[in-house]
Structure 1
Amino acid sequence: MKKKNSFIGLLPLVFFLVIYMGTGILSGEFSGMPLLLGFIFASGFALLLDKPGEKTSLDDKLDIFSKAGGEPTIILMVVIFMLAGAFYSIADAMGAVNSIVNLGLSVLPTNALLPGIFIIGAVLSFSMGTSMGTITALAPIGVGIAEQTGINVALVMGTVVGSAMFGDNLSFISDTTIAAIRTQGVGPRDKFKANGLIVLPAVICTLVILSFLSTGNAQIGTYDYELVRIVPYIVIIGTALLGWNVMTVLGSGIAVGSAIGLIKGDFGAVELFGFLQRGMEWMQDLAMIAIIVGGVVGLMNYYGGIDYLLEKVNAKIKSKKGAEFGMVILVSLLDVATTNNTISIITAGPLAKEMGEKYDIDPRRTAGLLDIFSSAFQGIIPYGGQLLLAAGIAKISPVEIVPYSIYSFLMIVFGVLAIVTGIPKFKNSFKAENK
């Protein structure tokens, strides 16, 4: 039986955007409506709807919601989120974060401060897989550098935010990477190659621009670090590059970090359990949001909303390039609306996958484009968590930072160029894994 397409199926998403954006506009605080609560309201609204001309019992709709929210891809994503949180918590507790930052600052040339800060932040965010963690670690040091050298603090914060979005986009263990590869059925190395080829020119251009903007000859000082404390990050990067399963990668990093922390006396065995639990708690909201969004999208699909959107988008798309522009516009708009690039990928991912299959777009490319554009917009919206955090640490308005988010803007520029030129091209076809 042919599935009926209906705009009704899109109403849960429209409802969410209205209450989320409406609350932000009315309160002047876009964090006024927590994402999890907003999606729970949207799920309740979705359960009140039905297919045009049909009647589905509440029990059946709850069953559809539960099966979609408990889909294997989403549950695996939740477990990976938890492990990523545990790793960051252990790395923080055993001093890995401070050591990797201080190592970079100890060798940072004083006549190339901004490029140096960007490189340190890029390495840190790639290692940790978290933009918020990178900003938390590096922004206070950036403020100190700005005070000592006289460099515009908004420029320094823009550099820090840009470096944080580098890892948020490219790291093997970032939640955006996990969301992109799981929704498109590709591996982290495949996505990294496609993604990296597109943003590499943006990195180079950013470093060149920052080198012209970098000034000052102040003595930044000497920072203490221990190389042994950086080993967990080396393990994470090395095992990921070897192609290990992401859960094995995270497990290895947690094990090594825990062992070093115990040997160095940073915590005892019982305290270790507490730090592991702390990290998992950090990711609980995101995990629950992923499940709720999965359920809502399942109902939207059942009501014909996804097919309706596909039909309307496809009606405007006549080529592969058009499909790529369609998927990146969708994920970008979702990020601007939700201020969460991971959620925007989770929401847009299934639709992007269908568009990719219809227009024969390599899923490695789709995963890379979704991550690039969602991360880029996350780095320039002034009400997003990253800019709010950086601005709060620097005691300036987040709007002041936006013009200096150089790397984020260049990600968009080179992302668009990649679509227009069709670069990178893949010699071998790739079949997405249906897991």
Structure 2
Amino acid sequence: MCNSPENNALGLSPIILFVLLVVGSGIITQDFNTMPILVAFTLSTAYALMLNRKDKTLSFTDKVELFCKGGGDKTIILLAMIFLLAGAFYAVTIDIGARDATVNWALQYVPTDWLLPGLFIITSFIAFAMGTSMGTISAITPIGIGLANSLGVPVPLAVGIVVGGAMFGDNLSFVSDTTIAATQTQGVKLRDKFKANLLIVLPAALVTVVILMFVEINGAGIVTPEDYDFWLITPYLIIIVCALLGLNVITVLGVGISAACVVGISKGIFTFPTMLHSIQKGMGWMQDMVAIALMIGGIVALMQAYGGLQWLVAVIKRHVKSRKGAEAGSAALVSFLDVATANNTIAIVTSGPIAKDFSHQYDVDPRRTASILDIFSCGFQGLVPYGGQLLAAASLAGVSPFSLTPYCWYPMLILIFGMLAIATGLPKFKTDTSHIKS
């Protein structure tokens, strides 16, 4: 019904309309909350359904079917499940006092100047172990919010730190879907991509830590051991252990919710009915995010069916003329696709074969190509306000996702260091074939 559509720039316009609606209304009213994101996506969906292919007319029924298939993609459904479980975990841990207990523990045992850098480092470590930025953001954002309230720093700042740490760990993790996608599409080994990636992103992480050490803190009151109950912290400790064991993100969140419920009931904080209501309340907080995820999946499917994504690929391919151009072209392609689809894994999988052709044609080391794909997709994914990561974090924090982007310093820095790597040709690798997967 929709194979090989003709390239069509207009096919990308639904996502452009969404950005114009949200950003435009925010600029006009000086308030980025003026246009609700769900409403903006609804209007963009309606507009997308009015478009069509250049070479073939699709019926309205065909377009609705494409939209529904896109919204029902396994990646989108997994994202929706993570949203719901994250909301439940957040609500239950707040209701039993786990977040406040964890923050009070940190204020007592971690030096004040290291609380914000420590939040970034711990989040990075958990994301590296868990292999998912979404699961990490869901688990650690409540702690970041609690720290922000205690230290007198803006909540978006603390949440931006969590997002940055999650993207750092996810970008390097051996079990991350983005890492697997990047290595599989370029035919390189995981460890070689890790080494290449680390040399580019580690400086960005170190700069982030240094910047966070100079953030002015207004609060940081002194607490005593009586101010918290260590047992309330155990749900967070348990999910960290589960992450280190390499469990699936759904399993990690499920175990975390169960642990929080057991603690709540054993401490007399919950009755069984109030526990169930707490879980339902948290899931209710995330219902808008689930609807947005479904709409994003549907819009992306329509943009692809109309030839919008194919047009983007063709435009970038025409401008690649050299080795450095091939690297820049791969970076630009995966970046634009991530902005268009709001999904870094989809962006890598879609751009991977084209980037591999660039590598072969212009003699680019595939380890560098795999690193570039992962770095630029993760960088933009940590900045796009309508991406799953910022939507989840913003929903948990009760703020606009647009308020988080200015504080996502690490994603900005990895894009800068990624561009420097392309411009300088560093790091360089010995020419051999041992990195290629058999």
TM class, shorter-length: 0.7 to 0.9
SS of residue in 1 equivalent to 2:382: helix
Q: RMSD between aligned alpha carbons? A: 4.3
Do 2:204 and 2:417's aligned partners in 1 also have CA atoms closer than 8 Å? yes
Q: Are 1:139 and 2:131 matched, yes or no?
A: no
Do 2:84 and 2:283's aligned partners in 1 also have CA atoms closer than 8 Å? yes
Residue 337 of structure 1: aligned partner: none
- State which of 345, 348, 366 in structure 1 corresponds to 2:342: 345
Pairwise CA distance, 1:171 = 6.6
Distance 1:23 1:409 in 2: 25
Distance 1:9 1:93, change over 3 A: same
The amino acid of 1:270's aligned partner reads: P
Residue 117 of structure 1: aligned partner: 116
Distance 1:270 1:157, change over 3 A: closer
Aligned positions of 1:283-322 closer than 5 A: 283-318=286-321, 319=323, 320-322=326-328
Aligned positions of 1:28-427 closer than 5 A: 28-109=30-111, 113-120=112-119, 123=122, 129-130=137-138, 133-143=142-152, 160=158, 163-170=161-168, 199-209=201-211, 211=213, 220-222=222-224, 224-318=227-321, 319=323, 320-327=326-333, 329-330=335-336, 334=339, 345-346=342-343, 349-360=345-356, 366-375=373-382, 407=410, 409-417=412-420
Residue 27 of structure 1: aligned partner: 29
The amino acid of 1:287's aligned partner reads: V
SS of residue in 2 equivalent to 1:129: helix
The amino acid of 2:327's aligned partner reads: K
The amino acid of 1:256's aligned partner reads: A
Structure 2, unaligned runs of 5 or more: 128-135, 185-189, 357-365
Distance 1:430 1:136, change over 3 A: farther
The amino acid of 1:356's aligned partner reads: G
Distance 1:246 1:263, change over 3 A: same
The amino acid of 1:90's aligned partner reads: V
* Worse-matched range after superposition: 47-56 or 65-74: 47-56
Distance 1:412 1:305, change over 3 A: closer
Pairwise CA distance, 1:185 = 10
Distance 1:81 1:323, change over 3 A: farther
Distance 1:185 1:65, change over 3 A: farther
Distance 1:166 1:4, change over 3 A: closer
Deviations 1:281-318, CA, capped at 9 Å, x for gaps: 22221211111111111111111111111111222245
Residue 150 of structure 1: aligned partner: none
Distance 1:140 1:214, change over 3 A: closer
Do 2:91 and 2:279's aligned partners in 1 also have CA atoms closer than 8 Å? yes
SS of residue in 2 equivalent to 1:61: helix
Distance 1:275 1:137 in 2: 19
The amino acid of 2:353's aligned partner reads: E
Distance 1:424 1:64, change over 3 A: farther
Distance 2:219 2:276 in 1: 45
The amino acid of 1:129's aligned partner reads: I
Residue 338 of structure 1: aligned partner: none
Distance 1:422 1:80 in 2: 37
Distance 1:273 1:428 in 2: 51
* Worse-matched range after superposition: 36-45 or 362-371: 362-371
Distance 1:75 1:384, change over 3 A: closer
Pairwise CA distance, 1:266 = 1.8
Deviations 1:37-79, CA, capped at 9 Å, x for gaps: 1111111111111112532211111111111111222112211
Distance 2:105 2:183 in 1: 37
Distance 1:2 1:121 in 2: 44
Do 1:262 and 1:268's aligned partners in 2 also have CA atoms closer than 8 Å? yes
Question: How many pairs are equivalent?
Answer: 389
TM-score of the aligned structures, taking structure 2 as reference length: 0.73
Distance 2:7 2:316 in 1: 13
SS of residue in 1 equivalent to 2:342: helix
Pairwise CA distance, 1:357 = 2.4
Pairwise CA distance, 1:230 = 2.1
Pairwise CA distance, 1:139 = 1.7
Distance 1:257 1:358, change over 3 A: same
Distance 2:419 2:375 in 1: 12
TM-score of the aligned structures, taking structure 1 as reference length: 0.73
% identity of equivalent residues: 30
Deviations 1:158-196, CA, capped at 9 Å, x for gaps: 963553333442577xxxx9996899799xxx7996877
Distance 1:407 1:262, change over 3 A: same
Pairwise CA distance, 1:208 = 3.9
